[in-house]
Amino acid sequence: MVFRSEYPDVEPVDLPVHLAVLGAAGEHPDVPALIDGVTGESVSYGRLAGAVRRASAGLAEAGVRPGDVVALYSPNTIAYPVVYFGATAAGATVTTVSSLTTAGELATQLRDSRARWIITVSPFLPVARAAADALAAEGGPIAEIFVCDGAEGHRSLADLLASTAPEPTPVIDPAADIAVLPYSSGTTGLPKGVMLTHRSIATNLAQTDALYRPSVGERVLAVLPFFHIYGLAALLNQPLRCGATVVVLPRFDLEQFLRTIQEQRVEALIVAPPIVLALAKHPLVGRYDLSSLRYVLSAAAPLDADLAEACARRLGLPRILQGYGMTELSPVTHVVSPYDPDPARGSVGRLVPSTELRIAALDGEDAGGAAAGADLGAGEPGEILVRGPQVMKGYFARPSDTAATIDADGWLHTGDVGYVDERGYLFVVDRVKELIKYKGYQVAPAELEALLLTHPEVADAAVIGVQGPDGVERPKAFVVRAAGSTLTEEQVADFVAGQVAPYKKVRAVEFLEAVPKSASGKILRRELRDRERAAAG
């Protein structure tokens, strides 16, 4: 059966992202839009909107043109939304880059996205330069690197804001033009650029309103990275669209996080499960006054119901809320509303408006014995399929990957396994896809396997996610040594760690005689998972 949202449909929002988010800034110009959680510096809505206009003018004067791709490589700062919206207002597409990326990974994303510009910060400049040099050596030079906080030989954000050029007026087709190009591994494989149009992002914000809409001046703490679609949507786009105040932290440090909640009287936390775990169990929590908190919403990875309840009890809240979505869905499909008096325990919420959902049988493995792909009813687990205006345009320059993810009828196959209860609440219970979620970060096994195979003493390799004692999934490598090799587990882990972002590190290594594979050569990850379960007893 097809499950449909119980909320009235919303009309598609055909606005460029910067107008969809900041179009109402003039209604509350003096309300703080952004507060630096470290320094206390505040930026009003009036000042933010003006800075975005000047940034767009400065970028256009520098040569950024409609259709160009700008790589935004920065930690969370109060400057981030200025350059993000400034670039989209100039008609460019922004590809967001992990602040933990290596030079090699950045070069790969720049090359794949066809980026011509980089906006970064001075601590990240060496990595940005190394990546740009790699592209220049291949004949695809970066036009310019802007450094927000300034660096010799590079224009700064202050330089862009000082531009006296006219504000650009690019012709933007919200339904067709790509606003943001984040990278996701999707259901499997290497990271791919996810084409999110101005319309899909703007409409998804309107869809989310029915279940979650912060109020004007409400203080929301932003510690999840803005480069991730979850942080970009839930901690920039939606709060700023609604007139809330975003308190920005550059990274998660528990003591700083707690102190900021206390000092800034933060009312809302939008987090991932590892932060919920810390709030539930860490002794530091008891040293701070967190009484200002009205709700906590967790997404990006599964959250155990018992852990959620333990956290809620400790914070004196009725419950911890959850949400569900993915990069390819702009990103929201489900939310447990702060105003829901009786949400289903452990669920990720109900469908946002204008969204349909199907649960498809998995390879005949469901209890009812339905044929693979057959629609299932309430209470029956299967793959989650979603259709709605928030579905991505596709993967950039990868039509075959797009076709494998979005079928001919417009249904996006999420690769997640779940079921819908009789009241319409969704429960996510497993994943079909191979993607590993380490503390909310996406790790593609294929990427690590390809890297491992470059080691001269590795004959074959496979990577899966395994749960640690704290319930966090971690990458584990199964490695076949080359003949005569004396390679150690530590050497394998160090080899990977030297070439990837920290969250992609291999956390465990096991040597095998052979990696189990099908007749077609596909790695049989299920056998490796069974091996892990057997070893765990």
Strand duo 412-420 + 382-387: pairing: antiparallel
| Residue 442: inside a domain | yes
Element (H, E) at 93: strand 93-97
| Residue 210: inside a domain | no
Nearest-angstrom CA–CA distance, 419 and 421 = 7
Nearest-angstrom CA–CA distance, 110 and 107 = 5
Number of H helices, E strands in the chain: 16, 27
Task: Judge whether 290 and 265 are in contact, CB under 8 Å.
Answer: no
How many domains does the chain divide into?
1
* CATH code at position 472: 3.30.300.30
| Residue 516: inside a domain | yes
- What length does the chain have? 537
Q: What is the pLDDT of residue 364?
A: 47
Q: What is the pLDDT of residue 369?
A: 64
Nearest-angstrom CA–CA distance, 423 and 429 = 17
Task: Judge whether 161 and 51 are in contact, CB under 8 Å.
Answer: yes
Residue 45 token pair:
């809505």
| Residue 483: inside a domain | yes
Task: Judge whether 261 and 293 are in contact, CB under 8 Å.
Answer: yes
Nearest-angstrom CA–CA distance, 216 and 23 = 14
Residue 150 token pair:
């300034």
pTM value? 0.89
| Residue 479: Cβ within 10 Å count | 26
Q: What is the pLDDT of residue 301?
A: 81
Task: Judge whether 244 and 219 are in contact, CB under 8 Å.
Answer: yes
Q: To which residue do tokens 């990577």 refer?
A: 463
Residue 196 token pair:
């999110």
* Region of residue 217 (left: phi > 0; alpha: psi -120 to 50; beta: else): left
Nearest-angstrom CA–CA distance, 210 and 217 = 19
pLDDT tens digit at each of 537 positions of the chain: 999 999 999 999 999 999 999 999 999 999 999 999 999 999 999 999 999 999 999 999 999 999 999 999 999 999 999 999 999 999 999 999 999 999 999 999 999 999 999 999 999 999 999 999 999 999 999 999 999 999 999 999 999 999 999 999 999 999 999 999 999 876 667 889 999 999 999 999 999 999 999 999 999 999 999 999 999 999 999 999 999 999 999 999 999 999 999 999 999 999 998 899 899 989 999 999 999 999 999 998 888 888 899 999 999 999 999 999 999 999 999 999 999 999 999 999 999 999 999 999 986 444 456 788 899 999 999 999 999 999 999 999 999 999 999 999 999 999 998 999 999 999 998 777 677 888 888 788 888 998 998 999 999 999 999 988 888 899 999 999 999 999 999 999 999 999 999 999 999 999 999 999 866 577 888 899 889 888 877
| Residue 472: inside a domain | yes
Q: The sheet that has 473-481: what strands, in order across it?
A: 458-467, 473-481, 508-511
Domain containing residue 530:
436-536
Q: Which of helix, strand or coil describes residue 494?
A: helix
Q: What is the pLDDT of residue 520?
A: 54
| Residue 470: inside a domain | yes
Residue 248 token pair:
């920005």
Nearest-angstrom CA–CA distance, 408 and 388 = 14
Cβ burial, residue 280 (10 Å; 0-12/13-18/19+): buried
Nearest-angstrom CA–CA distance, 102 and 406 = 31
Nearest-angstrom CA–CA distance, 244 and 45 = 10
| Residue 309: inside a domain | no
- Cα 148 → chain centroid: 23
Q: What is the pLDDT of residue 522?
A: 73
Residue 178 token pair:
């790509």
| Residue 443: inside a domain | yes
Within 8 A by CB and 6+ apart from 312, the residues are 296, 318, 319, 320
Terminal alpha carbon distance of the chain: 39
